[in-house]
Chain A
Amino acid sequence: GAGVSQSPSNKVTEKGKDVELRCDPISGHTALYWYRQSLGQGLEFLIYFQGNSAPDKSGLPSDRFSAERTGGSVSTLTIQRTQQEDSAVYLCASSAGLGGVDTQYFGPGTRLTVL
């Protein structure tokens, strides 16, 4: 597709279960970002991949959160032993990563609800 896609669009899970959220970036984009959007909290940076460089994981809130980017394309954000405070919309974005203005293009997000 032409844009960033994310799946699933909605995920309801029970506290303590693990979840995987998927992001398909725009083809050819070298940079990929994960954000979390909670009600009234704005957009919280989680992790950033750029090409083959080591990812910037400085925004991950705990060691229950991890992310991978395979083959420089698709990315999976994994949350282990989910807690109710993990409920939020998880947004993925990609960019060409070529410097300059470098617009980030966002997917529609995955709404995670932890019961």
Chain B
Amino acid sequence: GEDVEQSLFLSVREGDSSVINCTYTDSSSTYLYWYKQEPGAGLQLLTYIFSNMDMKQDQRLTVLLNKKDKHLSLRIADTQTGDSAIYFCADRLSYNTDKLIFGTGTRLQVFP
């Protein structure tokens, strides 16, 4: 079946850039999403990218999509301690369903 993979942990210094990577297996993805989960809370949508785009920028966030390699990344510029959270990438498989396949999540730790 479809699969979405992420590395489990990332640790960065405050002020540096963070890059969180995601790979997926599905060939018919429509939208790909990044969700953020803060401790003790549910997930919140951070940003998304349509599958025919290569890049999307939203303030400190840059999403890169390499559809050939099925690789998605999220870059956070000037990472702050408030960015410490778990980041999930998610793949929407087709236009006919709202169902998402989530990755395992990457725990980002930002230290001073």
Cα separation A58 to B11 with both chains bound (whole Å): 35
Q: Are A48 and B98 in contact (CB under 8 A)?
A: yes
CA distance A35 to B37 in the complex (A): 14
* B-binding segment of A11-19, A71-79, A103-111: A103-111
Q: Interface size on B (CB < 8 Å)?
A: 23
Q: How many A-B residue pairs have CB under 8 A?
A: 59
Q: If the complex has contacts A91-B42, A95-B98, A99-B95, are A43 and B88 also in contact, measured as CB distance less than 8 A?
A: yes
Are B42 and A43 in contact (CB-based, < 8 A)? Answer: no
A87-106 interface bits toward B, Cβ cutoff 8 Å, 1 = contact, 0 = none: 00001010101010111111
Interface size on A, residues (CB 8 A): 26
Question: In angstroms, how far is the closest chain A Cβ from the Cβ of B65?
Answer: 15
B8 & A40 in contact (Cβ 8 Å cutoff)? yes
**Docked-complex contact A42 and B102, CB < 8 angstroms:** yes
A-binding residues in B (CB < 8 A): 6, 8, 31, 35, 40-45, 48, 88, 92, 95, 97-105
User: Can you name 20 extra interface pairs (CB under 8 A) apart from A45-B102, A91-B42, A104-B45?
Assistant: A31-B98, A33-B99, A33-B100, A40-B104, A41-B104, A42-B102, A42-B103, A45-B99, A45-B100, A48-B97, A50-B98, A56-B99, A93-B43, A102-B98, A103-B45, A104-B98, A104-B100, A105-B45, A107-B42, A108-B40
